[in-house]
Amino acid sequence: MKRSTSPSDAGGFAFVLFGGTGDLAMRKILPALYAAHREGLLAPDGRIISVAQTALDARGYLQWVNEHVKPHLSGAPANDAAWRSFLERIAYVALDASQSEAFSSLRDTLGAQRGQRIFYLATGPSLFVPICRALASVGLAEGARIVLEKPLGYDLASSNAINDAVGEIFAEDQIYRIDHYLGKEAVQNLFALRFGNSLFEPLWRREWVESVQITVAEELGVESRGNFYDQTGALRDMVQNHLLQLLSIVAMEPPKSMDADAVRGEKLRVLRALKPLTGHEIRQNVVRGQYHAGATGGVAVPAYRAEPGVRHGSTTETFVALKAEVENWRWAGVPFFLRTGKRLADRVAEIVINFRAVPHSALGAMALRPGSNRLTIRLQPNESIRLSALAKEPGMGMNLRGVYLDLAFDQFFQQDRMEAYQRLLLDVIAGRLALFVRRDEQEAAWRWVAPIIEEWVRPDAAPKLYTAGTWGPAAASALLARHNTCWLEEEN
């Protein structure tokens, strides 16, 4: 594999943020960089250069940061001294990213800045290739690292086209395809749980696991992203990346080390082992939904088709539930149920490992009930791990009741937990690739969802409607009922 050459890290870094006035920069990237700065995790002479088309001077941009970024800071309130010193790191370049000749001003701003150059593309995917080519044309691509936000393409062909073009300029070890779910503390603890403890590994296989559920549910609708979302949908926006990445981590074999290629190689093996879905299997095992008017938190909300930016009569899905199977020795026959959607009953992201019931119960039917023994890894809103089991109720008789053991991270670890974007941005600066998606992983995921995309082109494949504020179409519950199980929807 071609390897990149990098400038010396001795002089800190230059973090160039394209889309510097966008929603992602405002809510996630700049707050994450501030948190790292406040905690002393950034090199003192590291610089942040925001790039956007908005006509602002340096002072105007800092005013924008003060007004729009400060409300999104997590943890402790901004310390005035730390905030002022953070603002001193920031410069602003106004340019049209689609015009390569404008990039000379960016080169001049970087000037003699020493250390690693990082270009974060928080833009639409249509600008990825023009930006990369423009960086190369002014001599800024050599040795740099490039961070690509999702969505990386619309399907396998468009994803390959972007990867091919970017790959002509940057080596694979210079490209950081970001999936912020991989930076979450609970996902990191999934590695620790599986590969740092002998307790679970003997049980992490088909003989003991009945089913696996992965849910990423949102209460919000499309908000101001109607134009984008209507061209994307839940399958491309969530399943192809976030949910399949989580599935691959749950199902992967123990890597020989936590080296980037060792970890990503094991995830790739899982993605390539996913059972392909045909037209009939898609109709049986994939549920496509779209919300109509309802209520969230007691407040009336409109139907998806009435949201700003959504096409009249749109058939874009806002909900997907499906059954996947991993065809290998460890997982053969174990269903993996994936579910994601907008305007659902709660905001939650979790992984549920349902263990098999005992083969024979002398203690009554309770011990034979599916899901009596399960491991729940909660990713949001609060990160935790819960092991559910059965115990005898106090008193006469042998009546069983569900109990649980909780690992609540905020009780065990007093220090503030690092937000996903903060961890991932620090990994980019340090050159650590393990938590970023390799090209062959991305291709395998697109290849698996491609038949579903093709099936949904059929005129009779319109999404099933569900009321906003519920858990989606009834067909999603029926999908699990056929396997004698149900979604875990209420757990304190």
Picking from 337, 349, 344, 293, the residue whose alpha carbon sits closest to that of residue 318 is 344
* 292 classed as catalytic: no
Cis peptide before 308 (omega within 30 of 0): no
How far is 424 from 145, CA to CA, in rounded Å? 13
Check: CB of residue 219 under 8 Å from CB of residue 296.
yes
- DSSP symbols for 210-257: EEEEEEEE-S---TT-HHHHHTTHHIIIIIIIIIHHHHHHHHPPPPSS
How far is 305 from 292, CA to CA, in rounded Å? 8
How far is 195 from 99, CA to CA, in rounded Å? 48
Check: CB of residue 140 under 8 Å from CB of residue 106.
yes
- DSSP symbols for 69-130: TGGG--SSPPPHHHHHHHHTTEEEEE--TT-GGGGHHHHHHHTT--SEEEEEE-S-GGGHHH
How far is 469 from 467, CA to CA, in rounded Å? 6
Query: Of 242, 280, 292, 483, which residue is the catalytic one?
Result: 242
Phi, psi values for residue 292, rounded to 5° = -115, -175
Check: CB of residue 308 under 8 Å from CB of residue 255.
no
The residues annotated as belonging to the active site are 242
